[in-house]
Amino acid sequence: MTSNRVVGLTVFIVGVAILVSSLILAYLEYASAERVVVGGLEEAVTALVKVFAAVIPKLVWIGVMIAVGSILLSKGVQLLRVEKSD
């Protein structure tokens, strides 16, 4: 039964590491955001489309990382609980 505990702890730590790294990536993206200079309507729309085209794939990637980290974290906790109930 100690192998369940080791695997559970390992999966838990990997999940926490993924969540922390996704939070760091999200903060770094937030900190490096550029201001959109508005000259005219066409320039503003073009600048916003460029920003959205650059940011949306990064947000999707961070969202996937958070989902995977959360799943790993919950599975690690489940494995640790199975160990305690036995």
- pLDDT computed for residue 86 by the predictor: 56
- Write the burial class of residue 11 (CB in 10 Å: 0-12 exposed, 13-18 middle, 19+ buried): buried
- Domain containing 25 equals 2-85
Tell me how many domains the chain contains.
1
Encoded amino acid at 45, one letter: V
**What CA–CA distance (Å, rounded) separates 22 from 38?**
31
Axis crossing angle, helix 2-31 with helix 41-85, rounded to the nearest 10: 160
Distances 46 to 36, 43, 50 between C-alpha atoms, Å: 10, 5, 6
Tens-digit pLDDT string for the chain (86 aa): 578 888 989 999 999 999 999 999 999 988 888 777 778 888 888 888 888 898 899 999 999 999 999 999 999 999 888 755 55
pLDDT attached to residue 85:
58
